[in-house]
Amino acid sequence: MLIKSHELNLFLLLFIFCSLCFSVAYGHTSPPPKKIAKIIPNYAYILLDKDQYIGGYDESYLKRILPKVRQRRGVKKAELINDGKEIRLEVVPKAFKAESVIAGIEGVHVEMRVPYERIEIRIEENAAFPPKTSMNDENILMVEIGSDVAKAINDSLHGVKIPVRMKCVGNLKSDKANEAILQRFEAEHLVLGKMAPFMAVGDFDGDKRQDLYLRLKGVPEIIIFQKAKNTFKAVPLSSSASDLASIPRCEQNMENFVRVVPNKAVKCMRAERRPAGFKGDALEIVRHNNSNKLLMWDGKKPAYCEPLGEGALPGADISAEDE
């Protein structure tokens, strides 16, 4: 028996429809396309010193030094931008040092800026731990915190809940902010895409698992300890009721940040300030480019000391809580 063409077409359509129904019923659908994170370049900028405009330099000076800058260690790419008023450098983490790039070149300085307009914290189901960062098409740096981590934080705050989306406030771009950004990039080898000043990742209790330090306005500073896979315990570092607010928020002030200090590098002004139960990494609390204090977890509670030795920033007065 011959099958007519319209009957064959009908048969094929019926076969495709049944195949789709089978795929949906048994979960054999094609996976959704993966969201590709926007690449965050590490850029530094060479600019003329302000007094050099008075001294007779003009933008052509930057053009003349461009070939020399391109040959410097840690520089991947260099080009004139902003009508020749700046040299933009694509730089290599760990290899780049601002002083080395402009060594022997007078009348210029180097600065670094973050490429995003603001930072946001977002609570997401099944987000990775430690939190990952990414920049979206709106030039927002997003810090994704898992819902299980958020639950541990909320449980520790006894009634205060962190919002599922927080738009950070504070100064991302200023001369002092750019100075702090450059200092962190060189000293910590921290790329621009991970430079959220309100958090840090390290092993703070010495159990070989990564933990998270989080500083939010409206709640105490918090360490989220990773006790096992997908199991977390959040510990507020103070219990003052005055630290609690109805709506916690994040601050993106680049001058006030926290950085991890490995256990072996921890040195205090007085030896007795290093607690006996301290086994993990410490946190250096930095405010306005001055090292305020070292924060250590002694196994039961936080302990503080004034930092001393290699890697410590110029000291500032220790707050009253450390006396």
Tens digit of pLDDT at every position of the chain (323 positions): 555 555 545 555 555 555 555 444 444 445 544 455 678 999 999 999 987 665 556 778 999 999 999 999 999 999 999 999 999 999 999 999 999 999 999 999 999 999 999 999 999 999 999 999 999 999 999 999 999 999 999 999 888 899 999 999 988 989 999 999 999 999 999 999 999 999 999 999 999 999 999 999 889 999 999 998 889 999 999 876 555 666 889 999 999 999 999 999 998 886 657 888 899 999 999 987 676 789 999 999 999 988 886 545 554 443 433 33
The reply to whether 224 and 145 lie within a common domain is yes
User: In terms of C-beta density within 10 A (0-12 exposed, 13-18 middle, 19 or more buried), how is residue 268 classed?
Assistant: buried
130 within some domain: no
The reply to whether 232 and 272 lie within a common domain is yes
253 closest CA partner among 289, 281, 307, 226: 289
Both tokens assigned to 278: 């301290």
User: What are the distances in angstroms from CA 41 to CA 90, 158, 186?
Assistant: 7, 41, 15
48 closest CA partner among 11, 24, 90, 82: 82
The reply to whether 280 and 162 lie within a common domain is yes
pLDDT of the residue at 235: 96
188 within some domain: yes
Tally of domains in the chain: 2
128 within some domain: no
Domain boundary among 112, 133, 151: 112
Q: Letter for the amino acid at 181? A: I
**8 A C-beta contact, residue 207 and residue 297:** no
284 within some domain: yes
Residue 48: give the domain boundaries. 43-112
**CATH code where residue 76 lies:** 3.30.70.100
308 within some domain: yes
The reply to whether 184 and 312 lie within a common domain is yes
The reply to whether 104 and 145 lie within a common domain is no
The reply to whether 96 and 146 lie within a common domain is no
The reply to whether 167 and 311 lie within a common domain is yes
The reply to whether 96 and 230 lie within a common domain is no
The reply to whether 97 and 158 lie within a common domain is no
136 within some domain: no
pLDDT of the residue at 288: 78
The reply to whether 107 and 150 lie within a common domain is no
pLDDT of the residue at 11: 57
The reply to whether 103 and 194 lie within a common domain is no
The reply to whether 244 and 98 lie within a common domain is no
Helices (H), the chain: 5-25, 50-54, 59-70, 98-101, 147-157, 175-188
Q: Provide the whole-model pTM.
A: 0.81
234 within some domain: yes
Could you give the CA distance from residue 323 to residue 316 in angstroms, rounded to a whole number?
Answer: 14
User: In terms of C-beta density within 10 A (0-12 exposed, 13-18 middle, 19 or more buried), how is residue 264 classed?
Assistant: exposed
Domain boundary among 96, 112, 128: 112
